[in-house]
Amino acid sequence: MTRKKRVRLLGDVTGLLVAGTIFAVPFIFMLVSSLKERREANLLQLSLPKVFQWENYLEVIKANNYLLIRSFKNSAVLTAGSVVLLIVVCSMAGYVLQRRRDRLTGIANSIILSGLMVPPAILPTIWVMKGLHLYKTLPGMMLIECALQIPFTIMLYRGFVGSIPLELEEAGYIDGCTRTQMFTKIILPLLKPVTSTVIILNAVAVFNDFTNPLYFLPGTKNATIQLTLFNFIGRYSSSYNLLFANVIMITLPMLVLFLFFNKRIVDGMVAGSVKG
């Protein structure tokens, strides 16, 4: 092995160790703190507990009349509905925006790109939702999440559609396909790689969203999984052991999903970067 390769290998190993430490230490800190009793956890020290308090997790589940379980249900419904709506809307929009070349398409592209830069306006959005009777409802929250994720999702689909040969569509039209049949039977099945990426990225984003449900979906009945963190944070006292146990429980599902489908995320995002 040459000196240059040894230096490069050393740099790669060092980078992996540093990155692993940055991401692993906070998780280990939360894990050990979640197994401590309240007074010991409130010291916020990275040390093993004197006695492992596994019952902390059971207490978190039972808190506020099993609010955690209801919140998991709300978050699951919100995530599934938002992702399905995003796939349906953005796949069609990305296909049309990629294939059409006219002034209207250019305007639509500009509007979509502006969605990546312009921050959402909270009070006007609440006013509109109240007028539509969607405020404090899961369908209304789904529309909010979709509106926030649409620009990036359309860009993913549009880039991938550009790698699909036009000859496939021409052959479909020759065989008598309508435009609807063309999209549903030929184009949509070819979008599976990028659709996998869309599902994972948007599921993680919606499931982990804290701010928007706080504004647009208030109330204990509608609480999402991230809002359960308020159960253990008070004005005068906080139970950090239960708080960290709650964080661990709401982090694991998306962490496992991300670890298992990490390769699919990368493949789907770069699949449309090189036109075949």
pLDDT at 181: 85
- 199-238 pLDDT tens trace: 888 998 999 898 899 889 888 788 898 888 887 877 656 7
- 244-262 pLDDT tens trace: 999 998 888 877 877 776 6
pLDDT at 76: 92
Confidence of residue 4 (pLDDT cuts 50, 70, 90): confident
- Domain map (residue ranges) of the chain: 67-270
Would you say residue 272 has pLDDT above 80? no
pLDDT at 6: 80
Find the mean pLDDT for residues 48-62.
89
Angstrom distance (rounded) from CA 143 to CA 136: 12
Would you say residue 274 has pLDDT above 50? no
pLDDT at 84: 95
CA 135 to each of CA 126, 142, 146, 224: distance values in angstroms, whole numbers, following the listed order? 7, 11, 15, 15
Mean of pLDDT over the chain? 85
| Domain made up of 67-270: CATH architecture | Orthogonal Bundle (1.10)
Contacts 24+ apart (CB under 8 A), 210-218: 212/141, 212/144, 212/145, 212/148, 213/78, 213/141, 215/122, 215/126, 216/125, 216/126, 216/129, 216/135, 216/136, 216/140, 216/141, 216/144, 217/136, 217/137, 217/138, 217/140, 217/141, 218/136
pLDDT at 275: 46
